[in-house]
Amino acid sequence: MSVLTVPSPWKIRDRTLTWGSRTYLMGVLNVTPDSFSDGGQFNTVERAVAQARHLVHHGTDILDIGGQSTRPGAESISRTEELERVIPVIEAIRRDDDDTLAQAIISVDTTRSSVARAAVKAGADIVNDISAGTYDNGMLSTVADLGVPIMIMHLRGTPITMQQRTDYHDLVGEIHEFLQHQIEAAIAVGVKPSKIAVDPGLGFAKTSAQSLELLRQLSRFRDLGRPLLVGPSRKSFIGWILDQPDPQQRVWGTAAACCAAIAGGADIIRVHDGAEMHDVCRVADAVWRGTY
């Protein structure tokens, strides 16, 4: 029987993320007009900063700021437009008078190396790339040069095409193989092994049934030896189960999915409803990690 290695802690700003000690919350901050559940809600600097303040004061550990919608069918925007959406928000957070907000851990949700570089220069701490470095050949080497952690996710195709690419012979095995390959690719160009997290990509080139199967089998990704990020929040598989077309009405379903993810060994949960999911994580951690 193999012994699983606990991933090395991440030291970011004045905090240490100690994997296995508790579940960390990543709060979604989409500064877009067209994201699937909150498009247009936070697409001004003032509203984005207000939401960021709400999240960090209600238990969110990482703010995940993205300017490009990745919902199924989303069109790609220009690099300039993405920069114009993301960078002012990061800069505004960093200069805010609220010390808790100004010192928040920030990840930038992007597939472009140039945006990642500009975001880190502006104050971001982590790169969250849904393409795992496959959309931009310079991403992994850029992250290595910047010396920041990267979160790599599994998908197939693009947001426009991904839901036509859900034919797997071995769902978990193929995703595991892809993530292992991208971990090795990142390390090969100089990314420190301890600075890589993995995400199986619920809902990205996955049917609803496949997303549920991934939740059931999350523990199979533990042997990758990396922090495990899971993003179930408000996703279509929850709407499918609940017959709920409105993503903002999927909070209770998200809570159940978060519990399943934590039971399966998730280290980070990416959510929209920070305060509610903070309570969920505290109870789930008490049950499965014995932390209370």
The domain segmentation of the chain, as residue ranges, is 10-288
- Written as one string, the DSSP assignment of 211-255 is HHHHHHTGGGGGGG-S-BEE--TT-HHHHHHHT---GGG-HHHHH
190 Ramachandran zone, left/alpha/beta (phi>0; psi -120 to 50): left
Cβ pair 28, 271 in contact under 8 A: yes
Task: Given the residues 22, 222, 235, 250, select the one marked as catalytic.
Answer: 235
Write the single-letter amino acid at 291: T
Whether 195 is catalytic is: no
237 Ramachandran zone, left/alpha/beta (phi>0; psi -120 to 50): alpha
Note the pLDDT of residue 3. 57
Cβ pair 62, 25 in contact under 8 A: yes
Return d(Cα 216, Cα 259) in angstroms, integer.
Answer: 11
Note the pLDDT of residue 249. 95
Pairing of strands 126-129, 24-30: unpaired
Per residue in 220-243, pLDDT (tens digit) is: 999 999 999 999 999 999 999 999
Mean pLDDT of each 10-residue bin along the chain, 292 residues long:
78 97 96 57 85 96 91 83 95 98 98 98 98 97 98 93 94 98 98 98 96 98 98 96 95 97 97 94 96 82
Return d(Cα 60, Cα 210) in angstroms, integer.
Answer: 28
Strand ranges, E, within 50-205: 62-66, 105-109, 126-129, 150-153, 196-199
Token pair belonging to 11: 């030291």
Which value, to the nearest 10 degrees, does the dihedral of the CA atoms of residues 252, 106, 16, 251 take? 0
Cβ pair 146, 192 in contact under 8 A: no
Per residue in 94-137, pLDDT (tens digit) is: 999 999 999 999 999 999 999 999 999 999 999 999 999 999 99
Task: Given the residues 195, 234, 250, 270, select the one marked as catalytic.
Answer: 270
Token pair belonging to 122: 């502006």
Whether 235 is catalytic is: yes
Return d(Cα 130, Cα 158) in angstroms, integer.
Answer: 10
Class of domain 10-288: alpha beta
Note the pLDDT of residue 128. 98
Q: What is the DSSP letter of 8?
A: P
Buried/exposed code over 176-211 (b: 16+ C-beta within 10 A; e: otherwise): bebbbebbebbeeeebeeebbbbbbbbbbbbbbebb
Note the pLDDT of residue 38. 46
